[in-house]
Structure 1
């Protein structure tokens, strides 16, 4: 588990110039594996929406616990 929590990347998982508005200020607790993209780190609130809406999410999903609230 990480000592310094990463911030949630929100339900869409935008990167680079598409990252505006795709994150929240909550710490990331889960990491979702994605195809040909870096893993998506999300908070508990955005876990469900990210599984449904983020690009490249593997199915069945691979979710890893990376932090605690």
Structure 2
């Protein structure tokens, strides 16, 4: 878990680079959502649910990993 301590939330849409609309959360990421042919999406507890519904490439059923602690 120590590798991801500095990870920041990228939710709820999971855009990368210039397409990071909606990724303005500065909270630390606690979960990581596995996505199809995309890097995993680090999210905080507040954005976990919205990211499962709105982020691109989310697998179904979703695969969620705990990467940090609140």
TM-score by length of 1: 0.92
* Alignment-derived partner of residue 11 in structure 2: 10
* Alignment-derived partner of residue 51 in structure 1: 52
Structure 2 unaligned segments of length 5 or more: list them.
Answer: none
* Alignment-derived partner of residue 26 in structure 1: 27
DSSP-derived class of the 2:2 partner: coil
> What is the aligned length?
69
Specify which structure has the higher proportion of helix.
2
TM-score by length of 2: 0.91
Structure 1 unaligned segments of length 5 or more: list them.
Answer: none
CA contact (8 A) 2:13 2:22 kept: no
Q: 1:46 to 1:61 in 2, by over 3 A?
A: same
Q: Which 4+ runs in 1 deviate beyond 3 A?
A: none
